[in-house]
Structure 1
Amino acid sequence: MCSVSCRLATCDRTGVQQWLHSPDPAFREKINVICKLYRKAPKHAVVLSIDEKTGIQAIERKHPGRAPAPGRLRRREFEYIRHGTQALIAALDVHTGEVLADCRERRTQDDLVAFMERVAVAHPGKQVHVIWDNLNSAT
């Protein structure tokens, strides 16, 4: 019997390459600025890559799991209790690897403003360069 990893190893994953065309005439210039920041932050500055993940299922296991035993893996009960969804927003310092994150029940402009205020407090006296996609909540 072949495992999933065995089957994936035999798949041809090089047949197609996809990309998204940007209609922005300043696209190349923006990319060059971002790449320059990724390579080296200006003096007294921090470079943050910020992104969001919405719709994260907040679940709790209905029954406790079982610890591993000799020759047996740890076991986890299949059934769970739903507690709605959460929205995660995180800022990665691309040069140190440090992450500042916030998890909330929703994603509103007020939530984003509050998160950006946390970012500012976390980097006092520094110029903060933010790299963020063009998602509507970020504008």
Structure 2
Amino acid sequence: MLEQGIHLISTDEMTGIQALERLFPNKRIKPKQVEKIEFEYERHGTLSLIANWDMARGKVVSPSIGPTRTEQDFSEHIQRTIKIDEKAEWIFIVDKLNTHKSESLVKLVAESCEITIDLGRKGKEGILQSMDSRADFLSDESHRIRFVYIPKHTSWLNQIECWF
């Protein structure tokens, strides 16, 4: 697929990553002794990681780390990712989390693919009406940027999970 200019990307979030700082440096290794690792640490809260696994290259690309994992965070993450190769085709493999079917994601795909139709209003009408209608739009195979939603209880199909 990569030779055809198509990026196949497995994407997901890992939340609740503890940000820890050791209070003292580790003791250096000496001959015939093991390294001594400081066990006391200071907590600095938790962070969320949004990561992409490039299926063709076999590596993580364009990760995002922040204090939250909101609709806006995910949309901005996808926007940064597609800027790597703005004119290419992108296929994102994701689970069915609500942030993967958001209003801001629909607007991003529509703008990036130069789709000028009326998207409607969130919760009222058109493409933005419901998560199902947004998912249908985002998974449309005619779009240069699209999302493939894995079935419920099959997170093992999403290759980024192996990296986590």
- Seq. identity, %: 34
2:23 corresponds, among 48, 58, 62, to 62
Q: Distance in 2 between matches of 1:102 and 1:74?
A: 32
* 82, 88, 91: which one aligns with 2:43: 82
The equivalent of 2:156 in structure 1 is none
Closer, same or farther: CA 134–42 of 1 in aligned 2, 3 Å: farther
Q: 1:115 deviation in Å?
A: 0.4
**Partner of 2:14 in structure 1?**
53
CA RMSD of aligned residues (A): 1.4
After the TM superposition, which segments of 4 or more aligned residues of structure 1 sit over 4 Å from their partners?
Answer: none
Secondary structure of 1:107 counterpart: coil
Alignment gaps of 5+ in structure 1: 1-39
Matched, 1:121 2:79: no
- 2:119 corresponds in structure 1 to none
Structure 1 residue 124: Cα displacement:
2.3
| CA distance in structure 2 between the partners assigned to 1:136 and 1:73 by the alignment | 47
Indicate the SS of the match to 2:45: strand
Whether 2:100 is the aligned partner of 1:138: answer: yes
What TM-score do the two structures reach when normalised by structure 1? Answer: 0.67
Gaps of 5+ in 2: 102-164
Show CA shifts across 1:69-115 (max 9, x none): 11112211111100000000001110102312111011111111110
Query: Shift of the alpha carbon at 1:42?
Result: 7.3
Query: Equivalent residue for 1:12?
Result: none
Larger CA Rg, structure 1 vs 2: 1
Q: CA deviation at 1:63?
A: 1.2
Partner secondary structure for residue 32 of structure 2? coil
Amino acid of the residue matched to residue 129 of structure 1? I
